[in-house]
Structure 1
Amino acid sequence: MEFTLLLIAFIFGFACKLINMPPLIGYLIAGFVLNALGYESNSTLDTIANLGITIMLFTIGLKLNIKDLAKSEICLGSVVHSSVWIALITAIFTAFIALSVPFFSGLSYEQAALIAFALSFSSTVCVVKILEESGENKTRHGKVAIGILVMQDIFAVLFLVVATGKIPSIYALLLFLLIPLVPFLRKLIEEVGHGELLPLCGLTFALGAYFLFDLVGIKGDLGALIMGVLLAPSSKSSELSKSLLTFKDLFLIGFFLTIGLSAMPTLEMTVIAILLALLLPLKYLMFFFVFTRAKLRVRTAYLSSLVMSNYSEFGLIVIAVAVSANMLSSDWLVIVAQAVSISFVVTSLFYRKSHQQYARLKDRLKRFQSSSVLKEDQHPCMSKAEVLVIGMGRVGKGAFSALTSSLGDTVWGMDADERRVKQLLEVSPNTIMGDGENIDFWESIDFSNIKLVLLALPSIDDSSNITAQLRNAEYTGKIAAIARYEDEVAPLLSSGVDKVFNFFTDAGLGFAEESISLLSERNASKNK
């Protein structure tokens, strides 16, 4: 049976990839197809799904700066959005009750508010998956979206504590003892090396935190998130997160399948689910209004709002708890599960073209931008730059160092990760923070002196998008990019990149050239 589940998940996931749709849409469809074929979820699949969510929250924590949650656009923004959404959607549901809409006609006002609360959450799984696939989890809009998600997860945990009446044990106070252990845990991560012990260490920490928090009556997923946050300052947190990526992606397939396997809907339920999905534009508009009022740049507000315009797996959990407590009919679990699935599809499809959409709409959207922007959103100055390296990971830093030694201060580096930029600024002042896919960024800075741009990015989609933004901003210099695989070279060249370096082939070539130079030096010394 497990093989059948994997086979059908692969078939539909691969089919979606062939038509340039995210594989997660295929996994959702596979779940409903399996349901129609008579398959049901089982304890093994549920365990896999839960593992996927736990590891995902742990990796989110590894990339999270706790100070970000205290920012007004995150803390206040999440509270305002949730409050206004619940009030407005409850009013709409009240109108549905008055009109005797099926499944609404028997609801009380309290039940309507409960469903509105469940729909107020955005999907951590869907949003993080989309941001990671597009390489935008560390961009300004990506960090805003993740910060809001963490706040919403906290709201959900608080609700579950109240709804289930499961008060944390007095022993929960002992969890504070983890804080003095953090330096030891970080040191342990740094000592395990780069092999198979690193992901094993990460799994141990994630699942161990889940077990500890669950043991004292606190939701275990919150424990995995907090453990990730505590370990985030480690120098190997980024490498640890990447080492868990495959495990997380595989286990999350189980989560998407369980949504489709949760129940078999009727036609009437599907119509109501579609009706709920039609409220998603309202969710987008409310996020956009909140973010622009918080003085975020309009592009950040647009992209954050768009990726957050979906319903959440936590909403399903809230509804499931309500059903088990006889607060709602079990029909609502099926309806909300369908609405969540539809919202995943909608977000995945619309976000794929989000940068192109913004380029077309930016002049109209900028009317909503605040006259003053936050300090961290002010665009930098790099008028003296002649060479710009975008993406300051291992490859980018290596290229930046090599070019700086030859060309001096005319070489600048740029990255969208604020933490990475702060670390690099301690070494070189010629490092700025910026999102290369941001057309507003290129239109607001002076890059007339830049003759060469190096795109040291792992995603060819990112490199292609940045190339398009540069050309749209009338950049006439040369663009070089890296490719990890041979089949990525042609798409990059067709997008406008002038030169593509195959990461592995050219690394070997560079290694050979350096080795030959050493041999030449040795022969020269002998001749002397």
Structure 2
Amino acid sequence: MPEAIWISFAFVIGLLVKGIGLPPLVGYLAAGFVLSGLSATTSITAEPTDVLAHIAHLGVLLLLFTVGLKLKLRSIVSPEVIGGSLLHFAITCVVFAPGLYLLFDLDWSTALMLAIALSFSSTVLAAKVLESKRELRAFHGRVAIGILIMQDLIALVVMSLSAGKTPSEWALIVFGLPLLRPLLYRLMDASGHDELLVLLGLLLALVVGGLGFEAVGLSSELGALVFGAMLANHPRSQELAKSLWSVKEIFLVGFFLQIGIGGLPDQLALIFAAVAALLLPLKGILFYFLLLAFRLRARSSFLTSLSLTNYSEFGLIVASVALPEWLVPLAISVSLSFVFSAPLNRFSHSIYEHVAHKLVRFESQKRHPDEQPISLGTTRVLVMGMGRTGTAAYDWLAPHETRIMGIDSDPAKTEKHQKDGRNVVFADAEDTTFWEGLHMPELNSVVLAMSDIEGKLIAARMLRKLGFEGYIVAHTMYADEAVKIREAGANDAYLTMSETGVALASHLMDKSGIQAAQVRNPV
């Protein structure tokens, strides 16, 4: 069974590539090329099969479904996201298409489709990098994800137009799909948290969305995206996305293997990939200046641009529909961009600190509303991170201390708290420029309730660096992290689960009338 050998190769080379800090999918593509080379010199069979093609298609559908789950209007309805993505797409096509036309002697339609494919940035790579650094909800992370979603929508439109399918009269049923949202929400609620939730996602992405849209003459990719988007506002949409993440990644292995097994790169493919690699910095520079034009600060523009300075797996998906003969050159271009982008993004904050003095000169004097420095005024107690833990701390302290404020890096969450009557403002504790503009003349105590350890460490260090001598308390899941938080400057760092146990015991004593002495010395 050749698939067994392919999976073994993909795992081994993916593991080697991961060991040097690159995304495993670069290894999967390399595994395909290795198998293709071995097929020509040994008895190993390495030719695309119907099974592999089907697995690859399922991977694409699941990728689009998970993109749909993130498709919330508030994440893309902003000038920097809509304007930045559309302007970057248009400028890239206008500049790249003539260059490719002249350099590779192509016809105009092929040159334009290649330029479109190279205009997209990698959703998979950017999301993984931002998530690993706990920056998905930071301002620059949200801008990057919003632009990526816009690019995915553009890619889907291009794929639908390129497929050339004529919808049947039954395609009008699609306009009635929003009526199914209450039913889908009930199914989500009834599915629980385990395998039924995963099966529901597979059912909607592959069967109802994929096959259903194909049956009425529409793109199966469009169907997967639409059904994902219909669930985007459900409270458990991100839980479903996380549940499907590993399944989607496994199927996408087939997509990259299929490209590599399809044939070894020729001289033209290598030259094209080299040219694309040389053009990659221009892509990042264009993003940087476009975001500056929308009044983002140099730091946010730089970090967003760096996460988008790569080529996209969506470009390969578009090529698989419109330009199958260019799949291999584009695949090598995507791989080289990952080799360039992954290590740079890992050290993006350090890189910015070294070049900040050169970049800030391009900043606009007018600041973006989400990036205004704040003053704590007469605030005495500050809660940093207004998730469930931070909200609970705020609500318990508010009756005892009226001069309390909460901050969070998620504007949507901040707005909800404000509507609920809490004094919460937007701020990103991991942004060094936030601390530079912070005024806290009467601050007495700080609760660090952010979800990630890095944010707590940065906040504790910066508070002490600014001369704050008050009380800092934090929570964490792990004992080793508690030690790091105290070393960074916090007075105390409590273990979340231990404190939960203590709270439960306290409630028991309060409600049942058990005396403390009886608990300590049971008879």
Same-fold call, TM cutoff 0.5: yes
Within the alignment, does 1:429 sit opposite 2:422 as a pair? Answer: yes
Q: What residue in structure 2 maps to residue 89 of structure 1?
A: 96
1:61 and 1:232 in contact (8 A); partners too: yes
Within the alignment, does 1:338 sit opposite 2:332 as a pair? Answer: yes
AA partner of residue 113 (structure 1): L
Aligned ranges for residues 303-314 of structure 1 at < 5 Å? 303-314=303-314
Q: What residue in structure 1 maps to residue 357 of structure 2?
A: 363
Aligned ranges for residues 144-155 of structure 1 at < 5 Å? 144-155=143-154
Within the alignment, does 1:440 sit opposite 2:421 as a pair? Answer: no
- Separation (CA, whole Å) in 1 of partners of 2:253 and 2:472: 37
Q: Which has the higher mean CA deviation after the structures are superposed, 174-183 or 121-130?
A: 121-130
Structure 1 residues 18 and 162: CA distance shift in structure 2, 3 A? closer
Q: What residue in structure 1 maps to residue 411 of structure 2?
A: 418
Q: What residue in structure 2 maps to residue 101 of structure 1?
A: none
1:52 and 1:251 in contact (8 A); partners too: yes
AA partner of residue 115 (structure 1): L
1:467 and 1:497 in contact (8 A); partners too: yes
Structure 1 residues 334 and 55: CA distance shift in structure 2, 3 A? closer
- After TM superposition, give the deviation of residue 342 of structure 1 in Å: 1.2
Structure 1 residues 381 and 199: CA distance shift in structure 2, 3 A? farther
- Separation (CA, whole Å) in 1 of partners of 2:32 and 2:486: 38
2:22 and 2:338 in contact (8 A); partners too: no
- Separation (CA, whole Å) in 1 of partners of 2:198 and 2:410: 23
- Separation (CA, whole Å) in 1 of partners of 2:298 and 2:441: 25
| TM-score in terms of structure 2 length | 0.83
1:437 and 1:469 in contact (8 A); partners too: no
Q: CA RMSD in A?
A: 3.6
Q: What residue in structure 1 maps to residue 302 of structure 2?
A: 302
2:110 and 2:323 in contact (8 A); partners too: no
- After TM superposition, give the deviation of residue 179 of structure 1 in Å: 1.4
AA partner of residue 340 (structure 1): V
The SS at the match of 1:279 is: helix
Aligned ranges for residues 34-433 of structure 1 at < 5 Å? 34-38=35-39, 39=46, 42-94=49-101, 96=103, 104=104, 106-207=105-206, 208-258=208-258, 260-266=260-266, 269-324=269-324, 330=325, 332-404=326-398, 407-433=400-426
AA partner of residue 315 (structure 2): G
AA partner of residue 297 (structure 2): R
Structure 1 residues 446 and 417: CA distance shift in structure 2, 3 A? same
Could you give the per-residue CA deviations for residues 470-503 of structure 1, whole angstroms, max 9, x where no partner exists? 6676666665554445665566666666654444
Structure 1 residues 319 and 299: CA distance shift in structure 2, 3 A? same
Could you give the per-residue CA deviations for residues 281-309 of structure 1, whole angstroms, max 9, x where no partner exists? 10011111211112233333222211111
Could you give the per-residue CA deviations for residues 129-164 of structure 1, whole angstroms, max 9, x where no partner exists? 322333333333223222222332232233233333
Q: Which has the higher mean CA deviation after the structures are superposed, 286-295 or 57-66?
A: 57-66
The SS at the match of 2:402 is: helix
Could you give the per-residue CA deviations for residues 22-54 of structure 1, whole angstroms, max 9, x where no partner exists? 555555555555555545554445444444443
User: Where does the alignment leave 5 or more consecutive residues of structure 2 unmatched?
Assistant: 40-45, 519-523
The SS at the match of 2:211 is: helix
User: Where does the alignment leave 5 or more consecutive residues of structure 1 unmatched?
Assistant: 97-103, 325-329
- Separation (CA, whole Å) in 2 of partners of 1:8 and 1:37: 11
Q: Which has the higher mean CA deviation after the structures are superposed, 278-287 or 412-421?
A: 412-421
- After TM superposition, give the deviation of residue 427 of structure 1 in Å: 2.8
Could you give the per-residue CA deviations for residues 492-516 of structure 1, whole angstroms, max 9, x where no partner exists? 6666666544444443454445545
- Separation (CA, whole Å) in 1 of partners of 2:371 and 2:342: 26
The SS at the match of 1:295 is: coil
Q: What residue in structure 1 maps to residue 42 of structure 2?
A: none
AA partner of residue 199 (structure 1): V
Structure 1 residues 321 and 182: CA distance shift in structure 2, 3 A? closer
- Separation (CA, whole Å) in 2 of partners of 1:254 and 1:513: 53
The SS at the match of 2:407 is: strand
- After TM superposition, give the deviation of residue 381 of structure 1 in Å: 4.0
Structure 1 residues 279 and 192: CA distance shift in structure 2, 3 A? same
Q: Which has the higher mean CA deviation after the structures are superposed, 282-291 or 372-381?
A: 372-381
AA partner of residue 149 (structure 2): V
Structure 1 residues 118 and 222: CA distance shift in structure 2, 3 A? same
The SS at the match of 1:383 is: coil
Structure 1 residues 352 and 492: CA distance shift in structure 2, 3 A? farther
The SS at the match of 1:79 is: helix
The SS at the match of 1:318 is: helix
Q: Percent identity?
A: 37
- Separation (CA, whole Å) in 2 of partners of 1:52 and 1:164: 18
AA partner of residue 224 (structure 1): A
2:69 and 2:232 in contact (8 A); partners too: yes
Q: Which has the higher mean CA deviation after the structures are superposed, 335-344 or 453-462?
A: 453-462
The SS at the match of 1:278 is: helix
- Separation (CA, whole Å) in 2 of partners of 1:438 and 1:194: 35
